[in-house]
Structure 1
């Protein structure tokens, strides 16, 4: 729901606006009204509106002062429409520099008001969709890099549209309309890691309904889910969801969650197995897998290890070629009850995957890394550029490409793309008069606020301050 607030000192105008707008039809909620800018600022923190409709001439704090204060607040700035009379039109021009998106002349024409608000609602919806798409790519890339490089302690430099989320891990797509039945879910997007579909459900607070897991998705088993987390706990949330999926496969959705402190396949072992795959040594990989299994005492421990081995290996496969293997593994894993079943999974599922990976990695890592850099250098302006997209172009798995960036190029994929974009933005800021939001779009950012944050993190300066520091180099206007 898009939230809107009215700031107008004349009560009869406020009431008139409230009656003119078809709130439900437009998909907006009226979050209250204020009689001046000072009251508006107080309501702002409570309601956090997406749209503000404000008059210019008001007592105590006028519209221009109010709008100026909005720009300095440490929060997402709402979109502002101003109300102005013909005699005050000069003020409307001044308001443009503070980011006002539109204006409406008094007396208010209901059709013009509805049309203006409708256009703005469409813009906000498009921006939200772009933000979610951006989150999807960034979260997938961050998880790839963190899961493959567990020793790294880098925190994500992006935010979700809401403060809390949970992961759902499935092996089959879930229609997104299923999630609409749970009113505690504010947004939802998905991405893929290997054969697993990862649904990210966003929440406004740390209270989530259990209706979704117990009722709405009861026919989508097996499924794994995490507790609610913030963005800094993304890796833990993924591990919880993966463990939950494993246990649901074996024992059903009501199984008690196993402690996350007990892992059977640790990062050093992952690196060792990956090294044997990269060297093309199938026998060494087989021996390593067998050795790991022999160190497990119980059948349950061996099955846990096999699940983790499979989840690790299938990240490096082309998902289009592994649907059959995935189905076979899940069935065998669910029904395994003996040491012979464990050996059957190892020989007929894990070993063929190892062979397939070795056969696919027939190019040298350095060659793949060079080709990836060349592709990024030629396509960094595409806001949809992602690890998965580049991997698809090079016919390798996203996980393997992420590994190559880290080991061969000594930088992760996201950092390389960001550095390329920020460097190009610096050149544009120093040598052109283009508006910052246009430069942001030119170098591949579809969210100017995110561009500002990334640029400052990389350079220590905001884009505006960087341009000011380079002003003597800017080419004069012609």
Structure 2
């Protein structure tokens, strides 16, 4: 630790000698200024705030002892003093003891003697600095403890808060709190950054709240409409958080720190609106969202049904459209973020359960997404729905590839079954139930394999068999229609003419 020293002597040679003959840097001091009389010394002490003043006794305008007495009476900082005097002034210099000055240097100054005295002064200054530091820490901790009480009990405007906060409250014209919500994994790092800045301010305090949230209590006194340094510090803090997902919000200011619970309540309301901010950077204020209310009523069943329908059908495009439409709907509704998050978590768990039932190959996809951590995460609407979209699309892609692999072996079996049973009242639904496939997916498989849809494929098989029976010339047309699976002759006639361009009788006559 280094201390600042101010040198005062009306003799230029003596002043220069003190600077050159003493190794101030080695002794732990930095010379912050020099002057030639007590009057000028008072001004420099006020502007430079030295820790130590080494001063001559006899000087023009104001001597050293007068200067010391004046400073001790009116100065705003405790300063250590060392007297420099000639031999003939020794007894006079000892009178300085009544000012509490225990150190003196005899002219002409000897470097070794001065070093001995200055080392002793350095130890005293270091001890006093440590005492002040611990005292300051204890005082801040006590204030933090009392501020916690304010946040926990929400006192009414006319009710006294914890004793001892009145002087602190009166030291600033306004008080507020900035809530900072972080990812649990980055909480310690970001809290450390905030703490290093807050500790430099006399009317700012860091309060630990929930497991991934802390508050910065700040007192400030705007001057002629200019922004207070404490408020600028919040902007600086937000810039330092760049690259992290962080929500920051300040409440509505109050004139007294005793009303801090009110600030906290409005900051909590404001921070919810960061969910709809596309950028994590910046600090949102309650005043900017006071007229924008959040909606808490929402029936999630419609969204869940729509999403799961597209998911079950392995309809990636439909799934993507549903997610995009619902995100826009939430944005327009200004739905409370906790409601949106619960809905997304519910959906992801449903898809996760579906994937787990599909087999071990799903584990790689599921391992990438920790759904259980979402509840405490800091995510805006865009990122949350991107997560939901990517999760669903990866699941659909995996399931599609898995079903495509399995379908290669089963599609031939399905076609053989259709050939054996096309005369019956076969439907895509019955076929899907038999082979444990979704009807839409089964229809897609048959289209890909046969080049035509299921119904067309069944009609083709029936008419193909009908032409064979017509060539035998053993049955009536109505009997043939019934034998190939038509209960309605007109339907048989329609499908026959559609495929062959002639009636069954014309076909029979030609063959």
Q: TM-score, normalised by structure 2?
A: 0.42
Rg comparison, structure with higher value: 2
Q: TM-score, normalised by structure 1?
A: 0.44
Structure (1 or 2) with the greater helix fraction: 2
